[in-house]
Amino acid sequence: MNGTTARSMAPDPSRGAAGGQREGDPEPAQSLARCHKVARTYGSGAAASVALQNVSCCVRAGDRIAATGPSGSGKSTLLHLLAGLDTPTAGTVTWPALGPRSSLRPGPVAVVFQAPSLLAPLNVAENVALPLLLAGVDEGDAGQRASEALATLGLEGLGTKLPEELSGGQAQRVVVARALASRPRLLLADEPTGQLDHANGALVIDALLAAAAADGAALVITTHDERVADRLAQRWRLDDGRLVTGATLECLA
């Protein structure tokens, strides 16, 4: 696989070798991530489970997208494909404006996971600084930026706490702070409020929107919560692994 494309094992002969673009195509302006006829199947044979099929979409700079749909509709799978955490079994995923897949994380893409994702042996400040350190930022700068991110989320006093000493809401806000600390261009949040009460959920969404606005980042959030979805400009609706409405396909043209 080249550095810019995540594709199925059977390459689509209609697409070029670099970035899944046709030769001579102009680079779509501000196109951060693109999925073209993407499918993702888990398992094989009789036990195969299709999570996504024939999904095409793209995310551009400044987008505010809510990916909604019932449980098992493929929201998280799509998010993971956009984040480069997973590879499609068919179709291609590319990041035209972000570089090769191997450079997405740590770097221009940040992910807020649904499940608790703080490292237990590291305190809050160390957790937030971790993506920066992984990116090669020296410890002093990483610490400084981590402090700023924590302050943005109103978590200044929690820097020396361990994850097991935090409440669920605090932990999720720390995860958001960690995602913001690296100032990503594409911010992907998988059910960030799923385990929080309404007040804490609102705080997290506020922080995500504010950070995206401040850094000019695109924001994609998967959610069941209509109130969260309503706060975002665009809405993708998935059902049974298909993107049934809302996807902007102009960038694929």
Q: Backbone phi, then psi, for 186, in 5-degree steps?
A: -130, 115
To other proteins, the closest distance from the beta carbon of 57 in angstroms equals 19
Q: Measured from the CB of residue 216, what is the shortest distance to other proteins in angstroms?
A: 21
Q: Residue 93 or 251: which CB sits closer to other proteins?
A: 93
* Closest distance of CB 173 from other proteins, Å: 17
**Residues paired with residue 7 on neighbouring β-strands, in sequence order:** 92
Q: For residue 18, what is the DSSP state?
A: S
Sign of CA dihedral 170, 66, 223, 218: negative
In this structure, how many other beta carbons lie within 10 angstroms of the beta carbon of residue 116? 14
Residue ranges that bind other proteins, judged by CB under 8 A: 80, 85-86, 104-107, 111, 113, 115-123, 126, 130-131, 133-139, 142, 162, 164-165, 178
Nearer Cβ to other proteins (108/251): 108
- Closest distance of CB 119 from other proteins, Å: 5
From 5, 31, 212, 168, select the one nearest 93 (Cα to Cα).
Answer: 5
List the one residue out of 37, 34, 70 whose CA is nearest residue 218.
34
State in angstroms the smallest separation of the CB of 197 from other proteins: 16
Q: What are phi and psi of 237, to 5 degrees?
A: -115, 125
Q: Which is nearer to other proteins, 14 or 71 (CB)?
A: 71
The smaller minimum CB distance to other proteins, of residues 9 and 115, is found at: 115
Q: Which is nearer to other proteins, 88 or 107 (CB)?
A: 107
Q: How far is CA 220 from CA 118, 119, 172, in A?
A: 21, 24, 17
